[in-house]
Amino acid sequence: MVSGSGYLRTKPIRPKKIVSGVSAAELIDEAFLAYNAGRLREACRLFSRKMLEPNVTVGMSITGALTPAGLGMSSLIPLIEAGFIDWIVSTGANLYHDTHFALGHTLHPGSPFLDDRKLRQEGVIRIYDILFDYNVLLSTDAFYMKILKEPEFNGEMSTAEFHYRIGRYVNELEALPGVGRVSILAAAYRTGVPIYTSSPGDSSIGMNVARCVLEGSGLRLDMARDVNETAAIVLGAKEKGKSGILMLGGGSPKNFVLQTEPHIQEVLGIREAGHDYYLQLTDARPDTGGLSGATPSEAVTWGKVDPDHLPDAVVCYADTTIALPLLTAYALTSRTPRTPSRLYDRREDLYQRLLAKYAEAKTEE
């Protein structure tokens, strides 16, 4: 019996055999048909076919120790340099570990089952199955202490401005023989992609800032400016096109990219509907309270996601270290590079536009 149900009008599951030489994009399209493989295919298609349209501004949140695992070099830098990422919220730890590579240090694959007492005795740091020398930390701290004592850091600034200035120094490191393009800080500096940190004190970079303050530095990271700047970016995106968010993991960075919409609507009273595209790679669950910011449907109730665009929301429950390289390969295969929007250079104009819209909203109260 043949059913007339509309649910059965999709292409039947009948994949081709996997053969030698198949590309990542072909593999995803042809063999990732169900379960979380199916969600990853949906994620790749949402990102490549809709989020990378010219009128979409793409924000990305980064959590988990991705840069120590090499994901910065393999996946994030190519996305940034292709113009596929317009603004970023990252943990400070990812940016700190990102700097190791530009300083010429090496991190090594190891095992999560080593004797950590012996590692401590031998001065070896372990991040799950990644190993590196304790002196890598000391050297990186010394680099930050040196540049943070420069006069340009002796004042108040947003974390975007803070990271952009750091990125200039890291970009100079990459020009040294044998280094190459290894840092997302440097890549973001070159392309004008602003990088924010929602919890700047929660990293070794933040600890070095704290030491500078003890030594009399006037360096202060302006949380309020970060909140307003990121909201201004999203408001500007929605006035001229659409806003899409790619979230790698959860945590504070995920909420920070999403809270831009409640800040616009709930706190500032500016009429808006929510982000248009929502894409998350995560291994967390909502029922334990671990899925920070929860599901797209729940985000609708907060105004974070436009309810009319809820079908354009995908959560892929997968390890980011597996899913992100595949997503990157799919996007680079499917789309030509976009011209970088250089939102860093436009921050002040966007901020002033937010102020104007806020003033309008107050007169309507």
Q: Is 50 a catalytic residue?
A: no
Helix (H, G, I), strand (E, B) or coil at 195: strand
pLDDT at 2: 54
Query: 154 lies in a domain?
Result: yes
- Number of domains comprising the chain: 1
Q: Helix axis angle, 24-31 relative to 35-45, nearest 10°? A: 120
29 inside domain = no
Within 10 A of 52 (CB to CB), how many other CB atoms are there? 23
Task: Provide the pLDDT for residue 289.
Answer: 77
In a domain, 21, yes or no: no
* 56 lies in some domain: yes
Question: What pLDDT score was predicted for residue 288?
Answer: 80
174 falls within a domain = yes
pTM of the model: 0.96
**Do residues 237 and 194 touch, judged by C-beta distance below 8 A?**
no
Q: What pLDDT is attached to residue 10?
A: 87
pLDDT of residue 3: 65
Please give the pLDDT value at position 292: 63
Computed over its alpha carbons, how large is the radius of gyration of the chain?
A: 21
DSSP string, 199-232: STTSSHHHHHHHHHHHTT---EE-HHHHHHHHHH
Catalytic residue among 238, 242, 254, 304: 304
Give residue-wise pLDDT tens across range 50-107.
999 999 999 999 999 999 999 999 999 999 999 999 999 999 999 999 999 999 999 9
Q: Which residues of the chain have pLDDT under 70?
A: 1-3, 292-293
Q: Is 22 contained in some domain?
A: no
Q: Quote the pLDDT of residue 39.
A: 96
* Identity of the residue numbered 348: E
Rounded CA gap, 51 and 84, in Å? 9
Task: Give the domain CATH number at 184.
Answer: 3.40.910.10
249 Rama sector, left if φ>0, alpha if ψ -120 to 50, beta otherwise: left
Question: Is 197 inside any structural domain?
Answer: yes
Name the residue range of residue 323's domain: 45-359
- Asked whether residue 144 is domain-assigned, the answer is yes
